[in-house]
Amino acid sequence: MQHKVIPPRTPWHNGKVERSHRNDQRYFYNWEKFASVEDLNRKLKDHLHWSNRKPMRTLGGKSPLDLLREILSNA
């Protein structure tokens, strides 16, 4: 997957990034405690597994993984 940098002064994109960070804070960092970097990485992997499979209203009820599969199948 290629990393994309959002253009400067684009509130629409910036809002999406900020929302993502806020959700990570709310659903992960506020709830978890980490004994080590390895523990953080293991818990983060589990969180991302859950997060990428969670249906989202903004994606029409699809999960991010479902949407990615759909996009790749139409490419």
55 within some domain: yes
Q: Look at residue 71 and tell me whether its pLDDT is greater than 90.
A: yes
pTM of the model: 0.68
Would 1 be classed as within a structural domain? no
Answer yes or no: is 6 within a domain. no
For residue 7, tell me if it sits in a domain: no
Distance from C-alpha of 23 to C-alpha of 51, rounded to nearest angstrom: 10
Counting the structural domains of the chain, the total is 1
Residue 5 forms part of a structural domain: no
Q: Say which residue, 48 or 4, is predicted with more confidence.
A: 48
Mean pLDDT of the chain, nearest integer: 89
Going by pLDDT thresholds of 50, 70 and 90, the confidence category of residue 58 is confident
Average pLDDT over residues 35-58: 94
CA angle 18, 14, 12 (to 5 degrees): 120
Q: Is 32 domain-assigned?
A: yes
* pLDDT, greater one: 18 or 36: 36
Which phi and psi angles does 20 have, rounded to 5°? -60, -45
In terms of residue numbers, what domain contains 63? 14-73
